[in-house]
Amino acid sequence: MWRRLGSAWNVRRGFSSAVRQRIEDEGDWSYSSEWWRADSDGHTVFRSISDKGNGLVSVVAYPSSQPNDVHWPEMERWLQRRQLEVLPVCEREGRFRILGYQWRALRFNDDTRQSTVKVMAAYRESEPGSVCLMQQPHCLAVPYLKSMLSAGLATIASCSYDIIEKAVHGKKTMNILCIGHGGGSLPLFLASKIKGALIHVVEIDPLVISASIKAMGFPAFSVMTQSDAENFVLDNNNLYDMIFIDAYDGDDIFPRKLWDPNSPFLKALSTQLHPEHGTVVVNLHSDSELLNPDGSVPSVLEQILPMGKYVSRIARAYKDVLVGNGKEGSGLGFTVSVPWVCNTSLVVCRGLQKSGGHLNRDFFMNTIMSKSLEVENLLDLPFSCLQYIKRGLMLVD
């Protein structure tokens, strides 16, 4: 739950006291102005050089206006109750007091904003010089994460709602693999909403793991695997219900070996996806500025093809390898555009049935939209799944 900082809190207490209309979703895009393009208000709390291709890894903190301080006493009481539940021997160590909330943005090379989370800072009255950071699991600040979750969960629910319903209440185990960790907001959100979730997190860069724990409030006791995604999958024999992939490097490139249809990675991934309802969700975005003026790929990038105009190529590779090329009942793939940012969510699922090898787009949209409302209510999500599903939905040929 906590990451303890060894000494007095040495970051600027620049928490905003501005009064704003309360929005249930603290990660709503209306708050993005507090951390997006707000360099003048931010200060660096973590900075180090990666030896895994991510360049300069840093975490920048920004003031957050929510939750308003009128809600802090309620949270302090919750912290006290939770501590006594987990560690009853700590009853005499003093009550918690909240210092405030901040956004924390993980960056590569001071340019690429890789992840953004919200953290709460608190201390015990008995130890005022030692501050704890707790990442807020209910707060997803970046729209593409909401898109991945909305599209992925609504899809698996469309072919096997039972697994979602039972897993949410802890009556069934739901095996989930997250490739790419960043600040950790995706696995933390899943763990907070699905009691039966058993989540494996794979991250190639130990520095990113360190940054998420030391500066972004990710739980230090969480189990993560520091490994190259391809090596992990090749050495693994687990069977997953859902797989989330968000694996961009310091140059904002999605490595070719993670999407090439002839790669060992995709072939091995196919053996670890549940045969009846297995669902893969991939975050893609445009790197079109890396292309030559005529749209061709620079020779230095031939092995790490950028996204953008090639989204359809990557989508087809995942669909063909994971569910086949259109056989009846084998599954399908689709993409949705992410609002506000230049990202696309790719979803490939084995469980959705097709008639004669074809699926009517309108029928599919009605099905997944209906299930998105059920998922939204079941998980008590702070945002609408529908707005992240209906935008630019395209079936993969």
- CA-based nearest residue to 64, from 92, 86, 89, 32: 32
Task: Give the model's confidence band at 64: pLDDT under 50 very low, under 70 low, under 90 confident, else very high.
Answer: very high
Where do runs of H (alpha helix) occur along 99-142? none
- For residue 220, the model assigns a pLDDT of 84
- Residue 169 is classified by DSSP as T
- CA-based nearest residue to 232, from 196, 185, 179, 285: 179
- CA-based nearest residue to 321, from 334, 331, 307, 335: 331
Say which range, 86-100, 105-119, 156-170, 171-185, has the weakest mean pLDDT: 86-100
- What span, in angstroms and rounded, lies between the C-alpha atoms of 266 and 257? 8
Tell me the pTM.
0.86
**Region 138-157: what's the mean pLDDT?**
96
- What span, in angstroms and rounded, lies between the C-alpha atoms of 121 and 127? 13
- For residue 102, the model assigns a pLDDT of 96
Contact 241, 277 (CB under 8 A): yes
- Residue 397 is classified by DSSP as -
What are the pLDDT digits (tens) for 197-231?
Answer: 999 999 999 999 999 999 999 998 777 899 999 99
Say which range, 19-28, 96-105, 374-383, has the weakest mean pLDDT: 19-28
Residue in the block written with tokens 């890396």: 290
Instruction: Put the strands of the sheet holding 332-337 in their side by side order.
Output: 224-226, 197-203, 174-179, 242-245, 279-285, 343-349, 332-337, 394-395
**Region 280-302: what's the mean pLDDT?**
58
DSSP string, 240-297: BSEEEE----TTS---GGGT-TTSHHHHHHHHTB-TTT-EEEEEEE--GGGS-TTSPP
**Region 309-315: what's the mean pLDDT?**
83
Number of alpha helices (DSSP H) and beta strands (DSSP E) in the chain: 9, 14
Count other C-beta atoms under 10 Å from residue 361's C-beta: 12
More confident residue, 390 or 189: 189
Task: Give the model's confidence band at 369: pLDDT under 50 very low, under 70 low, under 90 confident, else very high.
Answer: very high
More confident residue, 148 or 16: 148
Strands 127-135 and 112-124 turn out to be antiparallel
For residue 120, report the phi and psi dihedrals to the nearest 5 degrees. Answer: -105, 135
**Rounded (to 5) percent helix, strand, coil in the chain:** 35, 25, 40
- Residue 338 is classified by DSSP as P
- For residue 62, the model assigns a pLDDT of 95
- What span, in angstroms and rounded, lies between the C-alpha atoms of 281 and 323? 13
Residue in the block written with tokens 């809600």: 71
DSSP lists the bridge partners of residue 134 as: 120
Contact 247, 179 (CB under 8 A): yes
Task: Give the model's confidence band at 9: pLDDT under 50 very low, under 70 low, under 90 confident, else very high.
Answer: very low
- What span, in angstroms and rounded, lies between the C-alpha atoms of 390 and 397? 18
- What span, in angstroms and rounded, lies between the C-alpha atoms of 283 and 67? 29
What are the pLDDT digits (tens) for 231-278?
Answer: 999 999 999 999 999 998 878 888 999 999 999 999 999 999 999 999
CA dihedral 376, 382, 385, 387 (to 10 degrees): 150
- What span, in angstroms and rounded, lies between the C-alpha atoms of 182 and 248? 10
For residue 63, report the phi and psi dihedrals to the nearest 5 degrees. Answer: -65, 145
